[in-house]
Amino acid sequence: MTELKTQEKERIILSPNIHGYADDEELIYHIEVELPGVDKENISIKMLEDSFYVRGETEKDIYVGSYGMCCLVRPKDAKAVYRDGLLKIDVPFKDPMEDAIEISIQ
């Protein structure tokens, strides 16, 4: 009887380089994630109002990380573009009074 053995390739888990900054009017938060060699279909992004998670994979490497943001954002309005190993995400800041409730005074 022949025993079949599959040899799994060991991949390196890395934290991608992340750069985040507000635009001049402080309306949009720009995030840049370096994912060299990753194909677009191998990238996953999940975003909350105060943080995001990103994962990208190649045959040799796994880029993964969770990151907090300086201020609350509106993740449903985020836009992402990936080109030449750089993932760019633009997401509008959330108005701090957006969910405010008017309180009646008695």
pLDDT at 8: 53
Domain ranges for the chain, please list them. 12-92
Q: Indicate whether this model's pTM tops 0.85.
A: no
Q: What is the pLDDT of residue 70?
A: 87
Longest CA span, the chain: 86
pLDDT in tens, the chain (106 residues): 444 444 456 889 999 999 999 999 889 999 999 999 999 999 999 999 999 999 999 999 999 999 999 899 999 999 999 999 999 999 999 998 888 999 999 9
* 12-92 CATH, one of 3.40.190.10, 2.60.40.790, 3.30.70.100, 3.40.50.970: 2.60.40.790
